[in-house]
Structure 1
Amino acid sequence: MTHSQPQPFAQDIIANVARVLVGKEDVTRLALAAVLAGGHVLLEDAPGTGKTMLARALAVSLGLDFARVQFTPDLLPGDVTGVSVFRPASGDFEFVPGPIFTGILLADEINRATPRTQSALLEAMGEGQVSESGVTWRLPQPFVVIATQNPVEHEGTYRLPEAQLDRFLLRLSVGYPSLEEEVEMLARLQERHPLQDLRAVAAPADLLAAQGQVRQVTVSPDLRRYIASLAARTRGHPQVTLGGGPRASLALQGVAQALAWTQGRRFVTPDDVQRAAPGVLAHRLSLGIEARMQGLGAEDVVREVLAAEPVPVEGQAGGGPGEVRGA
């Protein structure tokens, strides 16, 4: 049996975030996995559950610049990406970068902005660049968008289009704390917010190096087939009108690699894939009318898909899968 020790880099980040966000180590690990995989995160939850806190704490812990944009119906694309300003003294236009030129951008309540402004993020999220007046401007690396939206409030909101949802590597819910965790939170925040004293435990260069190591984590041929089969099953599910495409498979592999790396392993296991699957796949699925009438959610479909697909069994050497066990 192959034993591994948790990756110190990941443990330091998770422990540091836990100083300000009580009892949310699992969601922190998944959010960190998305960052390590070079992706973006959509936090969908009720107000006051710590979505903004998670984004801020991650940025501080990783030593990244942080910018927050409150998305509203009157927000223009240039307010996010930047605009060209005419300078009379020189007679030229000068590009003034917007808040998107940062390490972690918090797009707060992203579904309150118009589709035009939402789409301004697409190029930045997908290509790591911004185009203005025919000129392309590269964004700093690493660059991560963490967007939030409130799932229970629909008045004055705009639904995120499938193309933009697909750009988010993970959709996560922070969730309410337990009673004991909420009591501890009250004690910590009584006098001074711990975020004020939070310090970086890593640097951007450390994150870039970690991202390179994550890409080197081994994924066996059997696990690649398992990942692709899970995505294919979502497309063939009778209650799904739009399933996960190739980008979903790539995202699932990337997050699984990152989760394995945070645990100190150089290989992916089926457990890594299954742990990543709900956050990677659910927001990429569009359900039919019948499913919605039955109260079936995308997460329910992902659970059905995971239960139906045979799981590769880990081998003894280096985690390589061998035989397949039935679901």
Structure 2
Amino acid sequence: MTKSLYFSVLLFLIVPSSVSAQLQEVCEPGYFEAIDDYFEVTIDEISTWTDNVIDNDIISVDYWELIAGDLPPCISLNLDGTIEINSSSPTGDGSSLDCCGEHYFSYTLIGENNIMCSAEVTIIISCEEESKSDCSVIDLSDTAQADPDGSGDNDSGCVPVCGGALTTVTYILDTTAGYNYSVIGGSIQPIPNQNEILVLWDPYAGSGTVILEFTNDAGTQTIVQCVDILEPPKAIIDVNSPACLNSAVQFTSSSDPSSADHFWEFGDGTTSTMVNPVHTYTSPGIYDVTLSVTAPVFNDSGVVVCCCTDVDQVFMEIMDIEGPVIECISTLCAGDSACYSTPSGCPGA
């Protein structure tokens, strides 16, 4: 029976106060589970966009209802889980709301047997066409033009970079000039070009600074560029190792955010873009498994300023032992009992 079949009953469901007091937060994976949602909407989609927060939830109880937390003014949530964007003012005065940016709210599923489970919803509404998807280069030539006297007063604003990532910082090449770089909020990595450096930024959100003392025949110019270090996604692999040969291995991503793009490399030449893939190894050995997660980072106006990536790595051991082969009686009669067993020596078989 599907969720939609139960909904008509829930519209008339009344939970007595005595029962409500007994409700407790119980999320049972695979049975009764509210799962966080993440949506991205462009300005052109606002008037027609709709989605449903319970499409990815797991509801195996006969009766349930949905209760929303405090909703942002731009967001509406129906009892069947459908969400929409309301750009008109709720006062009815004909004015429009500024719905650009990030919106957050929570909802709770209440099921039979006095159980409930909550989830968080994030909606990003992007209202500008221009965005920067790559934050791997900082050109100090732009900074120097904004601060031509070299005073260090740069009104062009801070540039975004991804936390924990490498960024190339470059300036005009003059083979007769001297370049003296210093960095706050990261570490300088070796690079052969005299006019460039590689910076490995701190792996968490914060602020940083790049300072260049550029000296040539005209004298010394100091160029200062402030940096916004953005919170990167976090890649996390969950898997049981060792595993059996020729058996399905479940790889699970506990990455944050869960909506990030996933790219798995299983170490045997195969890849996957699924969030939680299943993979079978046909040869024993140690495999280098990596998960790369990439997620956009938005500013307050809902514009993507960077696409940041994080990588996790595990070494997967595949034993030279086949997985479980269940031996059982092929024919049973009603009321009979039987013993099932496996001769496999693989762990967990």
Structure-1-length-normalised TM-score: 0.27
**Larger helix percent:** 1
Name the structure with the higher strand share. 2
Q: Compare CA radii of gyration and give the structure with the larger one.
A: 2
